[in-house]
Amino acid sequence: MAAGSVRAGRLRLFGIALLFALQPFPGSANEARCDHYDPERNVFWGDLHVHTGLSMDAYIFDTHLRPDDAYHFAAGGEVKLPPFGEDGKGTLPFRLERPLDFAAVTDHAHSFGGVQLCTNPASPAYATELCVRYRRPFRVSSVAEGTRDIVARINSLRSEENCGADGQRCRDAAAEVWQETQRAAAKWNQGAPSCGFSTFVAYEHTATPDLTKIHRNVIFGTDQVPPLPISYYDEPSAPGLWRELDRQCVDGLEGCEVLAIPHNPNLSNGQMFVIEYPEGSSEQEQAALAAQRARMEPVVEVMQIKGESECRSGMWKVLGTDEDCDFEKFRDLHRVEDCKDGKSWGALGGKGCRSRLDFARYALIEGMREEARIGVNPYRFGMVASTDIHTGTPGATDEWALETVSAQPPTVGSNLGGLAAVWAEENTRASLFDALERREVYGTSGPRMRVRFFGGWDYPEDLCGSSELVARSYAEGVPMGSDLPPRGTADKAPSFVVSALRDPGTASHPGGLLQRVQIVKGWSDPDGTFHQQVVDVAGHRDNGATVDPASCEPSGPGDAQLCAVWRDPSFDPAQRAVYYARVFENPSCRFAGHLCRAAAPDARPAACEDDRIPKVIQERAWTSPIWYTP
């Protein structure tokens, strides 16, 4: 892979190599409101998982954009991607057709110092042999060789030769990077009255023990943050991270607010949602730890470039069928054993088993099981999506958009990730952060469908036709991310309202029509058997819609809007249950289909004939859940 070639462009970061890659804004009532303030809330679109050249793996693959560039891009500005020109800068212009409303740059904190030292010509370590090796073009002939090379480069960033015997050189350099991250977020965070774009100070806690991905994005709600991020090298465990975030931020720094977002648990070998308590701990101590987790991690990333983590067919002790669970399954490229009630290691290298607890749906059910035991649900989380993009280009999820910026052929297992949708009164840090904490959020595989989901006990069947749907839904029930209110009438079953509007797209690239809306229900038996039920409540699976892969032209019927009121006919008042909605577009061309269609017939890569690379996609959205507790 030649340095500066188009292969250094965006799709390279979706390839096999990445399998192994390891201010004040308190939102007080006295502040001026945004021009678009709405007490019934607007939906805002963003990306909470973005890497720039400050991340050790991104830089290896020719990403030299910095946090300032990433926010510039997210807000609608143009950046230049590789190949590099003689001046060392990118030559391919790229911009979003529709800017985002918010973003967070989440670079890998554990290598801040080493990357800064090895990429800054003014640093004392720049000319060391290890830094020269880190910067050299990435050329390998096999996956094994690539793995060894990447691991060696990353390990060199913390070497004594670079950091000094006491490591202070790397700590000082990390502080510089952390300050740059904060400055970029402050620069691009717009306030009232325009409130056109919001940012969060953030980073990634990158835990990859034995190639198992147990990563979390740490998002701060204000510009009050600790002097250095708490990285994997500081606190390798999740409880240690939560404890230090409480100590250094929530309890130790006035005005500091923080949450953590577990990301793509599909590569965690059963470890992201495994329930482990200190040996000999009491139920009271376990309940306190579970409550800390639920508070610190109110949302989970259900979709990103390394696959979808909602559900999977055929998992151990999971009853009920769902033919839509096999969407963008990253690890289906390998034969993977079921962990059953165990765990293992090595998912990033295609190793180890796969657990039902690698998927959000089953973690939600496991959380209710734990709540029945200790009185606290550690997995009371909402769902968002993001990209995990390693090119400094947040929100680039339009399937058609890569035709102009990459000649790299599509690769097996890659996709473009998703977007986070947040229902908030206004586009400010404070309002968005509050929405994340209360879980009134959802994720999509890239499109911008406008989805609302409410639960209650007395919603009328004709509510979808009412101009007061939103007001009544709030007044008579709860939105996504909430617990159902107390049940007032003994013979009542809960009712749910789900409304979806198509992504309008743009004049040059209209959004897809909607095909159907589903409600997903989950519950468990005392023996740990999980149950899932999927009900179509609006639209039709077999509506006749299709897309021509050769031209990417859609055809057939679809809907601009779908809405339904559904009452659970199998409701058991003695049984804990969780419900969420899922919305589907009609089939459309996947990015691989667009790239192959755009290539000249005699220049199409062999990947275009690879049946393992889907050319068609059915884009979708996942809402946060609503819980019923007896």
Residues 6+ apart with CB under 8 A from 17: 61, 138, 140, 146, 150
pLDDT at 15: 34
The pTM is what?
Answer: 0.93
Q: What is the mean pLDDT of residues 427-451?
A: 98
Give the tens place of pLDDT for each residue, 185-240: 999 999 999 999 999 999 999 999 998 999 999 999 999 999 999 999 999 999 99
pLDDT in tens, 382-400: 999 999 999 999 999 999 9
- What pLDDT is attached to residue 178? 98
Contact 230, 245 (CB under 8 A): yes
- HEC profile for 187-224? HHCCCCCCCCCEEECEEEECCCHHHCCCCEEEEECCCC
Q: What is the pLDDT of residue 604?
A: 86
- Token pair belonging to 483: 């617990």
- pLDDT for residue 258 is more than 60: yes
pLDDT tens sequence across 507-558? 999 999 999 999 999 999 999 999 999 999 999 999 999 999 999 999 999 9
Residue showing tokens 């470039």: 305
Whether omega for the bond prior to residue 394 falls within 30 degrees of 0, making it cis, is no
What burial class does residue 219 get, using C-beta atoms within 10 Å of its C-beta: 0-12 exposed, 13-18 middle, 19+ buried? buried
Asked whether the beta carbons of 483 and 505 are under 8 A apart, the reply is no
pLDDT exceeds 50 at position 27 = no
Is there a contact between 1 and 139 (Cβ–Cβ < 8 Å)?
Answer: yes
Given a contact cutoff of 8 angstroms between Cβ atoms, the answer to whether 523 and 575 are in contact is yes
pLDDT in tens, 72-106: 999 999 999 999 999 989 999 999 999 999 999 99
Section 318-325 average pLDDT: 97
In angstroms, the CA 293 to CA 309 distance is 19
Q: Taking a C-beta distance cutoff of 8 angstroms, is the pair 238, 118 a contact?
A: no
Q: Reduced to 3 states, what is the DSSP secondary structure of residue 93?
A: strand
